[in-house]
Structure 1
Amino acid sequence: MTLGQTIAWDDTVLPFQLDRSDTRGRVARLDGVLAEVLRQHDYPPEIEALVAEAVMLTALIGQTIKLRWKLSLQVRGDGPVRLIATDYYAPGQDGSPAQIRAYASYDGDRLTAGGDAFDHIGNGYFAMLLDQGDGTKPYSGITPLAGGSLSACAETYFAQSEQLPTRFALTFGQAQEPGQAAHWRGGGVMLQHMPAASPLRADAEASAQDGLMNAGDILDGDEAENWTRVNTLLDTVEETELVGPHVAPTDLLVRLFHEEAPRVFDAQPIRFGCTCSADRVRQSLSIYSQRDLAHMTTDEGTVTADCQFCGAHYELDPKTLGFEAEEAPKNGE
C-alpha cells in the first residue's frame, strides 16, 4: 500500500453492514484529529488515554446517528478525573467533514502515575446527549460507570438505555513511522445488532448482579447466535489492524467478516473543530447585570473567558455585556 493510500483513510469513519448477521458497524481511523484534540492541553498520560478513548467512541457513535447538529458524551466521576466531555458536530451537508472537540477536568494532585486510567474516574456516570438544534427537545440518557473502561461503559449504555447490543474494539496511543516524529493515532471497530421490533425487548430484565443489562438479556435464538459469531470474529483483530495505517478498513472488514457478507457505505471525514466565539461568550453572559459583571471585570477593565476545548482566549468590554449592556460590541470584539 502506498503512502497516499494510507493517508486517505486517516481521520475517517467507514460505515458497514454485515447482511448475514443483521449487524451494522463502523471502522474509525483518527490521526490528525487525536493529535489536534490533545495538542490543546498539556495532559498527563493517564488523562490523554481517557480523552483519546472518549474521542474514538464519539467518532464511532456520532456517525451512527442521523444528526442535524450535535452529539455529546460526558463522563463524570468522584475521583481525580472529574469530567471528560466530547462534542460531535454533524456535517452541514453530504461530503463535508464532521467535527469533534474534547477536554477533561481533573485534579492533578490526586493522580497516581502509572495507575489504570479508568480507575482515576471513580464512581460516577456515563451520559449521552443529543441536540438536534432549534425547535427540538434535547435527549439525554445516563448509565452508571461500569466495566473497567469507557468502551465498556458505552456498551452498557446502549444495552441499558437503547436495548441495542453493541461492541467496541479500540486501540490508541503514540505511533511512529520510520523517519517521522511520534504522534497520536487511534483505530476502532463498532458493532451493533439491528434487532427487529419486538415487544419482548421492552420486558427484558437485567441478569447481572449490578442490575445493568447486556446483550444476553436482549437477544436469544438465531439473533444471539449471530451476535456471538460476529463478536468471536472481532476478537481475532490485532491492534496493528485497528490503528493502521497500512491495513485499509475495507481490507480489515474482508479479513474479519468475509463470511458475513460485508457491505460498505460512503466514508465520513472527521476534523477537529470548536464552535466557540466572542458572540457565544457574550450570549452566555447575557443573564448577568452590570453589578454582577463588575465582579468579573479584571484590573485592566475587561471580562475574560477561555474556551476549555480549544484554549481560545476572549477579552470583552463589560459595557457590551449582560442584559443591561450600555454599548453595542465593536467590530471584531
Structure 2
Amino acid sequence: MTLGTKIAWDDTVLPFQLDRSDMRGRVARLDGVLDGILRQHDYPPAVEALVAEMALLTALIGQTIKLRWKLSLQVQTKGPVRMIATDYYGPTDEGEPARIRAYASFDRDRVTDGPPFAQLGEGYFAILIDQGKGMQPYQGITPIAGGSLRACAEAYFAQSEQLATRFSLRYGKSTERGVPEHWRAGGIMLQHMPKASPFASGEGGSGEGGLLTASDFLDEDDGENWNRVNMHLDTVEDLELIGPALPPTDLLVRLFHEEGPRVFDSQPVRFGCTCSEDRVRQSLSIYSAKDIGRMTTEEGIVTADCQFCGAHYELDPDTLGFEATKEAGGE
C-alpha cells in the first residue's frame, strides 16, 4: 500500500453489536467526505474542527436511524460560531452510499485562538428527522453543555430517548510524507439497546445543569455492563481511529473481544448536496415581482449561492416569483 492510497474502509460506517453486554454501535472513518465539506470554505482552524466533529457525529447517528430521507444536526449559539448545520441523506437504493453535507456560520472577528468548543456560546444542540412527504418531522433539543459537541449529542440521547450513549471521536489534518495535507476523522458510537420501559426520575439528572446521564436510568446490571464496555473504549488510541493501518473489524476485536462483537454490512458515505436551480426557483416562488426586483443586481440577474457546496446560480428575474412573466429556459 502506498501513501495516499484510499483505504477500503475510508468514508464508511460499520454497524456492530456487543452480544454479551446488550449494546450496539458504529465505527466511522471519514476522509474524502471531510475534504468535500471543508474545501468549499475558508474556515478558521477552530471552526474547521467543529464542522469536522459535527460531520463525524452526523455519520454515526445517521446510520443508526432507518431513514427514508434526511437527518439533520444543528447547533445554534450566541458565540462566535453562530450556527453549524449538517444533513445526512439516507441511501435511496440498496448498496448506494449515504450523503453528508455541512456548513458553519460564524463571526470571523470574534473567533479566537482558543479551543474549538470555546467558540460556542449559550445555545442549543438539535437533532431533526424528516422522513419525507406525508410524515411528521421530529425535533429534539438539548442545551449546549459538557465541553464538546460529542457531550451534547450524548446528552440529547439521554434527555430525549433515555438511551445511554457514548462517542469517542478523533479528527484532524493528516500530514503523511508525500501526501497533500487533508482532514481525516474516525469515531466509535456505543449505545445501550433500548428497553421496553426506560425509567428516570422526574427530579432532574446528575449531569451538568440537571441533565440526565446514563447512571440516572440504567439499573445495576446494565450499569455494570455499561461501565465495563466504556473502560474498554477508553483504551482506544488516536491512530486506531483515524490511521490507515487498522481495519475497523480488527479494532472492535481489540477493544471488545470479551463482549462478543458481531459486525454487519458497512454503509458507504459520500459528500453530497441536494441544491439545484429548480430548488432555488422554488424557494423564490413566494416573492412578488417587487421583492424580486430588490434582489436583482446591477447586471440584471438574481444570484444565489449554496452555503453547503458553494454552487453559484445566476437567474433571470423575469422567471422568478409568483408574478413571473417568462418561463424558465424560455425565449
Q: TM-score, normalised by structure 1?
A: 0.96
Cα distance per residue 1:115-136 (max 9 Å; x no partner)? 0111111110000000111111
Residue 231 of structure 1: how far off its partner (Å): 0.5
Q: C-alpha displacement at 1:221, in angstroms?
A: 1.4
**3-state SS of 1:8 partner:** coil
Question: Which residue in 1 is equivalent to 2:304?
Answer: 305
Instruction: Give the corresponding residue for 1:95.
Output: 95
1:326 shift after superposition: 1.2
**Structure-2 change in CA distance of 1:286 and 1:60 (3 Å):** same
- Deviation track 1:236-280 (CA, whole Å, cap 9, x = no partner) reads 000110112101000000000000000000000010000000100
Q: Secondary structure in 1 aligned to 2:206?
A: coil
Question: SS where residue 37 of structure 1 aligns?
Answer: helix
Q: Cα 1:125–1:196, aligned 2, differ >3 Å: closer, same or farther? A: same
Aligned-residue offset at 1:207: 2.6
Question: Unpaired segments of 5 or more residues in structure 1?
Answer: none
1:77-133 deviations in whole A, cap 9, x for unaligned?
1011000000000000111000000000000001112x0111111110000000111
Aligned mates of 2:244, 2:224 — CA distance in 1: 32
Q: Name the CA distance, whole Å, in 1 between partners of 2:122 and 2:240.
A: 33
C-alpha distance in 1 between matches for 2:326 and 2:288: 14
Aligned length: 331
| Cα drift, residue 318 of structure 1 | 1.1
Q: Cα offset for 1:205?
A: 4.1
Trace 1:157-168 onto structure 2 (pairs within 5 A).
Answer: 157-168=156-167
Is the 1:22–1:195 contact (alpha carbons within 8 Å) kept by the matching residues of 2? no
What does residue 9 of structure 1 align with? 9
User: Structure 2 matches for 1:238-317, cutoff 5 A?
Assistant: 238-317=237-316
Match runs of 1:1-333 below 5 Å: 7-113=7-113, 115-198=114-197, 200-201=199-200, 205-208=204-207, 210-330=209-329
Distance (whole Å) between structure 1 residues aligned to residue 299 and residue 6 of structure 2: 50
Question: Alignment identity in percent?
Answer: 70
Q: Which amino acid aligns with 1:138?
A: P
For residues 308 and 134 of structure 2, what CA distance do their matches in structure 1 show? 26
- On the 8 A contact 2:235/2:255 being kept in 1, the answer is yes
> What CA distance in whole angstroms lies between the structure 2 residues aligned with 1:209 and 1:43?
30
Deviation at 1:9, TM superposition (A): 0.4
Letter in 2 for 1:227: W
The residue type equivalent to 1:282 in the other structure is R
